[in-house]
Structure 1
Amino acid sequence: MAETTQRSRTTDATGGPRLPKGFRSAELGWPELDRIPHPPRRLPLLGDVVGVDRHRPIQDSMRFARALGPIFRRRIFNKEIVMVWGAGPAADLADESRFAKHVGLGVANLRPIAGDGLFTAYDHEPNWQLAHDVLVPGFSRDAMEGYHGMMLAVAGRLTDHWDRELAAGRTVNVPGDMTKLTLETIARTGFGHDFGSFERDRPHPFVTAMIGTLSYAQRLNAVPGPLAPLLPRGAARRNAADMAFLNRTVDRLVEERRGSGGGEGDLLDRMLDTEHPSTGERLSAPNVRRQVITFLVAGHETTSGALSFALYYLARHPDIAEKARAEVDGVWGDTGRPGYEQVAKLRYVRRVLDESLRLWPTAPAFAREAREDTVLAGDHPLLRGAWALVLTPMLHRDPAVWGDDAETFDPDRFTPQAVRTRPPHTFKPFGTGLRACIGRQFALHEATLVLALLLRRYDLHADPAYRLTVTERLTLIPEDFRLRLSRRTAPGRPVEEDSAPEREDGGSPGSGCPAHAGEGA
């Protein structure tokens, strides 16, 4: 109860600091807040809204970070936000004995749909620990090895699609296709469900609804709490309809599983049937729905962005792509269906992925709050409950850690020696501590596997006129990024057809896709 009381004292309903009339900085939990720099031209009531790009708040904050330093603050109407990106303060915030996850800003705005799911739960809510302990075994080595074949099968559907686009002389929509891939992967491996994404000309309605809820949650960040009900009614109605669709889709998925008598021990089986190893508790029906939504959204949205950025950089750096491709050939040899263990041996491909996540971590920020009164970086007193937002793309660009060429794409930043000599807590694409992403090993295995399969099969040709534009919808993804493909040729001969993954159903890569579910599931 004390923790809830503290949150109420220092924050508003969305997790943003409460700024009552005549507020003192100590009421925010930062007694010396006035020492922290903020953008110029701050206006009464409006705060730092002059020149703000409300569609790209992360990139906007990166611009201010470069000017204001490793700890700065911004006020959007009545929400004062302290942002941190320096390696020292960020390492301090990663100390689990002093700081915990803070649910605020856009994450809190997702609670109407995700509730006390793993990503959006407050630390004091008991269902977080219950769900975490029940679901952690679903990401063990044995479980991951079981998912590997399904990941290959979905990747086969992607290469079928790309082969058709190539044969028709069309470029491929990288973010759109990576979203299809990662949605199908988490749906099949976690819930035994097929959305039929690759058989659709348009995104599945689940994806459309998901993007709608994420975009609406981000939009609320820039609106004073009391004015949120004054947003255009159409936007609120669309958001309500999007949430209702997500709920209906997941409810139908769970009902199908209950009616079938169980699956093959996947995440949904664990949610429905597994008791907590110590207490014997099970997840309630409402919490199961919230966890399924959390995994379907978070389990594909961030990974699709990571793959899209990696493919962008590989296309822009053909020398790096060729080095990665040579590693895939050397490790996989003539096999048409790489085994689980072979993916872990692709160390250079993994470096490419890590470097892409360094420059554009698709979950671009995480918030931390003080467990007790403390001092941040030896210089900034904080009261219990005070919080700060770690701006991950800037943490990953700190020149004191990454050098003066921190904006340059260089996978060799992740050689074993470089990793060993780098200060801890300076690479955080999956958050930090106990509340870091539970599915990070799943995402890394999937992304490494897919990058390797695509490099082995295709040459990637960048459009010289394309300039990277990053779309923000709480997560980051390249905007309007397309690639031209050609089937790869090895020295002196075409690559054999079996260089693509075999289909799980035993068919060849071009033999078509399995039947898929209807429009609403």
Structure 2
Amino acid sequence: MATALWPEIARIPHPRRRLPLVGDVLSVSPATPLQGSVALARELGPIYHRRLFGHELVFVSGAELAVDLMDESRFAKHVVMAVRNLRSVAGDALFTAYGHEPNWRRAHDILAPGFTREAMRRYHPVMVAQAERLTDVWDRHAAAGTAVDVTGDMTKLTLETIARAGFGHDFGSFEREEPHPFVTAMIATLRSAQARRVALPLVGRAVARAAERRAAAPLAYLRGVVDAVVAERTSSGDTGTDDLLGLMLNSAQPSTGERLDPANIRNQILTFLVAGHETTSGALSFALHHLARHPAALARAREEVDRVWEGPGAPAYEQVGKARYVRRVLDESLRLWPTAPAIARAARHDTVLAGRHPMRAGAWALVLLPALHRDPVWGPEPDAFDPDRFLPERVRARPAHVYKPFGTGERACIGRQFALHEATLVLGLLLRRYRLHDDPGYHLRVSERLTLMPEGFALTLSRR
């Protein structure tokens, strides 16, 4: 981003200890760049900029500024370097596509029927079945008195759920002690993309090429898995459209009659398998962490589930939405630790941000969601866990667009309802079945790859 795109950037605060040529490189935290940026927002205020090797980057965390950036008539999604690096994995899929690329709109229109209420009803039994696979494993741990790896097991659960519901594939994650090779390859590929983002300005193209070489085998494996899933479906002769894969293979964009090409179908599947399970597993993991640390909230959520989900079996589809406090627990967990933690917004034309900061067309800013979600508009003690922040009357009292864990505008997450239904169902089932015993010596550590995730978080369980 050239300085000329922000004509008055000198008026925006920047970190101390700026160095010649390299700029604010000392302010970058290579392992946790997002959390380092949020810490700087606490120090520098609601807007600040960094200069890195001649490039200017603007970070926003204040509610007034962020709300203005959500204006779709003036701002659009910007594909930042971290996302551009993922195009080697997912090409022009929904998350990584540029706004002008036709496959984004085409895929969005084709896949939209896969996220209607009717589709959610079809997915609900699949979600229940995968949750039962998880509880079979957790029952054994509860009986033995051994701890469960919460983040690892949530990752297994959400991968199996999106794979089965969306693409009719079973990874067999719960039959393995170690993560499925798909997850291992995914993590290696994402780490390679992050390494290119952090190291490229420092040591040049050699590091980028080395990172690409390291990622080649894991990426080939990911693509091979997806190609096998598609081949299995096409060889079966199934022409249905009851899941995401069926929609992509057997339907066309209503307005044009055009279909997705095989390369884009592969890209979309990879995107759903990777991003679709990562975000939900993180949300569930953070929610369980907060509940384990807040006994009153845990008791209240458990009482609600016992009351509104009648009968011993899994709840029917309609009953899941009745667990409103459980849903507020998830909302509050995503407020504190939005698993997709930033939104980049670019000016569609020359404009002035919040009436104070001139921006030329193409200028962009990164909205730091963990900082925005702790703005004073959230009331006193914004770092505290309080699910009642999401009571309807308190939501109405806040400005719109200050809560964005699923993105914003037309490029917001298409799978939002899928993720929230799955997470509410699973969290309620776990609370109804187990007592959670926290490790008082554990201090939350948040790892950063594509998403935010608790690291090293375990619980000991007992059956209720």
TM-score by length of 2: 0.97
Corresponding position: 1:80 with 2:56: yes
Aligned to 2:122, what secondary structure does the other structure show?
A: helix
Aligned to 1:50, what secondary structure does the other structure show?
A: helix
Sequence identity (%): 66
The equivalent position to 2:321 in structure 1, one of 329, 334, 344, is: 344
Specify the alignment match of 1:307 in structure 2.
284
Alignment deviations for residues 56-112 of structure 1 (CA, whole Å, 9 cap, x no partner): 011101110001011111233344210111111111110000011101121111001
Residue pair 2:196, 2:208 contacting (<8 A) in 1 also:
no
Specify the alignment match of 2:297 in structure 1.
320
Residue pair 1:77, 1:223 contacting (<8 A) in 2 also:
no
| Deviation at residue 335 of structure 1 after TM alignment | 3.8
Specify the alignment match of 1:173 in structure 2.
149
One-letter amino acid of the counterpart of residue 297, structure 2: I
Specify the alignment match of 1:384 in structure 2.
361
Q: Which has the higher helix share?
A: 2
Specify the alignment match of 1:280 in structure 2.
257
Residue pair 2:15, 2:27 contacting (<8 A) in 1 also:
no
The equivalent position to 1:450 in structure 2, one of 412, 426, 444, is: 426
Gaps of 5+ in 2: none
**Which region of structure 1 is more displaced relative to structure 2, 57-66 or 43-52?**
43-52
Specify the alignment match of 2:453 in structure 1.
477
Aligned to 2:453, what secondary structure does the other structure show?
A: strand
The equivalent position to 1:356 in structure 2, one of 311, 324, 333, is: 333
Residue pair 1:78, 1:224 contacting (<8 A) in 2 also:
no
Q: Distance in 1 between matches of 2:228 and 2:456?
A: 33
Specify the alignment match of 1:114 in structure 2.
90
| Cα RMSD for the two superposed structures | 1.3
Specify the alignment match of 1:92 in structure 2.
68
Specify the alignment match of 2:205 in structure 1.
229
The equivalent position to 1:412 in structure 2, one of 388, 395, 403, is: 388
Residue pair 1:121, 1:128 contacting (<8 A) in 2 also:
yes
One-letter amino acid of the counterpart of residue 267, structure 1: L
Q: Distance in 1 between matches of 2:85 and 2:409?
A: 22
Q: Distance in 1 between matches of 2:358 and 2:218?
A: 42
| Deviation at residue 403 of structure 1 after TM alignment | 2.0
TM-score by length of 1: 0.87
| Deviation at residue 213 of structure 1 after TM alignment | 1.6
Residue pair 2:91, 2:97 contacting (<8 A) in 1 also:
yes
Residue pair 1:79, 1:224 contacting (<8 A) in 2 also:
no
Residue pair 1:77, 1:224 contacting (<8 A) in 2 also:
no
Task: Give the aligned length.
Answer: 463
Given the superposition, is the C-alpha separation of residues 333 and 308 from structure 1 closer, same or farther in structure 2, using an over 3 Å criterion?
same
Given the superposition, is the C-alpha separation of residues 241 and 365 from structure 1 closer, same or farther in structure 2, using an over 3 Å criterion?
same
Specify the alignment match of 1:518 in structure 2.
none
The equivalent position to 1:156 in structure 2, one of 103, 110, 132, is: 132
| Deviation at residue 404 of structure 1 after TM alignment | 3.0
Residue pair 1:36, 1:71 contacting (<8 A) in 2 also:
yes
Q: Distance in 1 between matches of 2:100 and 2:143?
A: 55
Specify the alignment match of 1:12 in structure 2.
none
Corresponding position: 1:64 with 2:24: no
Given the superposition, is the C-alpha separation of residues 259 and 83 from structure 1 closer, same or farther in structure 2, using an over 3 Å criterion?
same
Q: Distance in 1 between matches of 2:174 and 2:241?
A: 24
Q: Distance in 1 between matches of 2:67 and 2:325?
A: 27
| Deviation at residue 428 of structure 1 after TM alignment | 0.4
Specify the alignment match of 2:120 in structure 1.
144
| Deviation at residue 224 of structure 1 after TM alignment | 3.6
Instruction: Show the 5 A alignment for 1:501-512.
Output: none
| Deviation at residue 190 of structure 1 after TM alignment | 0.2
The equivalent position to 1:397 in structure 2, one of 370, 374, 377, is: 374
Q: Distance in 2 between matches of 1:454 and 1:344?
A: 16
One-letter amino acid of the counterpart of residue 289, structure 2: Y
